[in-house]
Every structure is written in C-alpha cells, then in structure tokens.
Amino acid sequence: LKRTRTFSGVKPTGHLTLGNYLGAVRRWVEVDQYASDALFSVVDLHALTVEHDPARILRLSRQAATLLLASGLDPALCTVYVQSHVDEHARLSYLLECTATDGELRRMIQYKEKSVRARAAGDGVRLSLLTYPVLMAADILAYETDEVPVGEDQRQHVELARDLAVRFNQRYGHTFTVPRATHPAVAARVMDLQDPSSKMGKSHESGAGIVYLLDEPDVVRKKVMRAVTDSGSDVAYDKENRPGVANLLDILAAATDREPAAVAEEYTSYGSLKRDTADAVVELLRPVRERHAELAADPAQVDKVLREGAERARGMARPVVDRAYRAIGL
Ligand code: ADP
C-alpha cells in the first residue's frame, strides 16, 4: 500500500511569521512528517515574482530552511529541500502552462491583489506573477502528491492544481495524482495584529502587526499587547464583527490546542486575553528560536541536509515529469 504523499512549501520573500507557523509549518512537524511520505520545500522561484534583491533571496532561503529544521522537521523522516535545486519544477511548469488558460489565472485572488500593488508601486507586473499558480501546480503534481497542507489563503491555488491535473489526465491519459488541500482546524488564516482585515503576511511592509518566528520575547509581547481590537470590552468569538479579538482567540487557542469559542469564555477583559496570548506565543516560539540559533551556527550541516533533500526530491520527480513529457507528445 502506497503511503499518502504530502507536499508543501514556504516562499523566502521575508522572515517566517506566526501565520506560516500556525497555518502550515506546525502541522508539517507534528503530523505530516510522521503520517505521510512528505516533502517540504523552500520555494525560492516563487520569490522572484515581485521586486526582489538577489542577495536577500539567497539569505532568506537559507534562513527559511534553517527555520523549518528548527521547527522540528527531521530529514530522517521527510525531505527538506530548495525548489530551484530541482529542475523538474520548471520543466513541468511549462507543460502545465500549455494546459492552463490565461482566464483562469487572471481570476486568482492573489494575482489581482498583488498586481494592483505592483502597478501602484510603479513596477511592471512580472509575467511570473500571473503564472505563479502554474509553477505551484508543478511543485505539487511532480511528486504525485495526495495532500497539500496549507493555510486558507492557498485554497484557490491548490484547486487550480487539481483542475490542471484532471484536465491533463483527460487529454493525454492518466499521468498525475489529483491532490487535495488540507487546512488546520484553528488559525488557518492568522490576521495582521494591526489590521485584522488583512492576513499576517511576511512580505508586508510594516512589521508592527506581524509576529516573526525569530522575534525576541519582549518584541512579541509588545506586538500582541498593541494588537488592534474594537471598542467593546467583553470577550466573544465573532470573526465577522470582532475580527481583532477573534484573531487573538484563534492564536491563543491554536497555541494551547483548544477551541477559540471555549477560550473566549475564560476571559472578561481584553488586557488579560492579550497577556495570555503573548505568553502562549512566546512559549510556542521559544524552542524554535533556540534551535535556530544552534543550527545557524552550523550552516554546513544545513547545506548538507538541503543537498541530500534535493537529491531525493529529484529522484522522485524525474520519472513523473518524464512521463508527462511522453504523454504530451515530446
Ligand atoms: P506568505 O504569505 O507569508 O508569504 P507563503 O506563501 O510562503 O506565505 O506560505 C507558506 C504557508 O503559510 C502556506 O501554507 C500559507 O497558506 C501559510 N500562511 C501564510 N500566511 C498565513 C496566515 N496569515 N495564516 C495562516 N497560514 C498562513
């Protein structure tokens, strides 16, 4: 019996956030690496879709990989590698570009948002920003992936990967496994502490509402204590009308493995909710930060893990991508 194959990734466009951790990385560590045959990738090609600095990308890639290991991904259990080290992603992406239409890519919510931002900044919209979900589909399909554990924001992109797999299989004969997205029950979309209407994203300009995995405890406390709530005072879990408080409840519930509505019942003031949330986040991130410091002191070891990971990933992807080339008539 074939084990479930899991693939997921993180973009090195900035420092990893609490959103990345609660929405994705924590489940990779606690569940997926044990329960499935899993690959986790620092998807650096995806970081080139917007204005970028070459030296910074390289630094952030290494840091993201180090943080994945520091979070507890174990190379003896799963495959950790950098996307650009494995040519199969780009090779397959082109075949999928010949399967997708421009209409379905222009409908992607992230494309709409990010292209508006790029235009407003006076930058051109890179073509790769439009085709990014196709490369992501290639990331997933190259490994015969069954499950893609991601935050809510990636739901539409995984849906596209499914559509492309089904379409390719129908046209050219069965080639790809059709994947499905999985999301955490709590904190699948962590919001910016300063603006609870937008998600906590690592590439946003202002760090005040974003908790980074490597923030010092006092910085975490300050950010959580200054989180924007509403003018009410009683604590209730209401995402629609009280998004700021609901976000804190999601974070605290996820960090302490409880239900947000149950957590809400334990609090009568925003002050104590914020204090406990800050403490819980500090405790959650403490081991990650400590382990990161150890690993960062030995970059050769991280490089070795990434080299071996890329080797393994290549071995898995090559036969699948070769099969796709034959199926499409090349
Ligand atoms: P970012 O938007 O921070 O650049 P990535 O695209 O690198 O994140 O995503 C890495 C993983 O983290 C994905 O599974 C994504 O869904 C998840 N993720 C990103 N931001 C959040 C968030 N605010 N809440 C929950 N999950 C998130």
Mean pLDDT in each 10-residue stretch from start to end of the chain (330 residues)?
A: 93 96 98 98 96 94 98 98 98 98 96 92 93 98 98 97 98 98 96 95 82 97 95 88 96 97 95 97 98 97 98 98 98
Residues 22 and 154 in one domain: yes
Residues 53 and 84 in one domain: yes
Q: How far apart are CA 170 and CA 101, in angstroms?
A: 16
Stretch (H or E) spanning 302: helix 299-328
Within a domain: 245:
yes
Pairing of strands 37-42, 79-82: parallel
- Look at residue 232 in the predicted model and tell me its pLDDT: 79
**Candidates 6, 7, 20: which one to mutate for ligand 1, based on the most atoms within 8 Å of Cβ?**
20
**Coil vs helix vs strand at 230:** coil
**Coil vs helix vs strand at 108:** coil
Residues 288 and 323 in one domain: no
Residues 58 and 92 in one domain: yes
- Look at residue 205 in the predicted model and tell me its pLDDT: 66
For residue 32, count other CB atoms closer than 10 A to its CB: 25
- Look at residue 21 in the predicted model and tell me its pLDDT: 98
Find residue 80's DSSP bridge partners.
40
Residues 271 and 323 in one domain: no
Residues 97 and 168 in one domain: yes
Q: How far apart are CA 193 and CA 223, in angstroms?
A: 7
Do the beta carbons of residue 12 and residue 44 sit within 8 Å? yes
Within a domain: 201:
no
Burial of 243 (0-12, 13-18, 19+ CB in 10 A): middle
| Annotated active-site residue in 11, 114, 223, 274 | 114
Domain boundaries, position 257: 217-293
- Look at residue 158 in the predicted model and tell me its pLDDT: 98
Residues 288 and 305 in one domain: no
Q: How far apart are CA 77 and CA 61, in angstroms?
A: 21
Q: How far apart are CA 80 and CA 76, in angstroms?
A: 10
Q: How far apart are CA 106 and CA 100, in angstroms?
A: 11
Can you tell me which atom of ligand 1 is nearest the CA of 8?
A: 14
Q: How far apart are CA 271 and CA 261, in angstroms?
A: 18
- Is the C-beta atom of 18 inside 6 A of ligand 1? no
**Candidates 135, 145, 153: which one to mutate for ligand 1, based on the most atoms within 8 Å of Cβ?**
153
- Is the C-beta atom of 156 inside 6 A of ligand 1? no
- Look at residue 233 in the predicted model and tell me its pLDDT: 77
Question: Measuring CA to CA, which residue among 111, 113, 179, 96 is closest to residue 143?
Answer: 179
Domain total in the chain: 2
Active site annotation includes 199:
yes
Q: How far apart are CA 55 and CA 250, in angstroms?
A: 36
d(CA 151, ligand 1 centre) in Å: 6
Q: How far apart are CA 173 and CA 212, in angstroms?
A: 45
Residues 116 and 230 in one domain: no
Q: How far apart are CA 196 and CA 189, in angstroms?
A: 10
Query: Which residue do the tokens 């900035």 mark?
Result: 14
Residues 48 and 130 in one domain: yes
- Is the C-beta atom of 202 inside 6 A of ligand 1? yes
Angle formed at CA 248 by CA 244 and CA 254, multiple of 5 degrees = 140
**Token pair in block for residue 226:** 């200054």
Residues 234 and 256 in one domain: yes
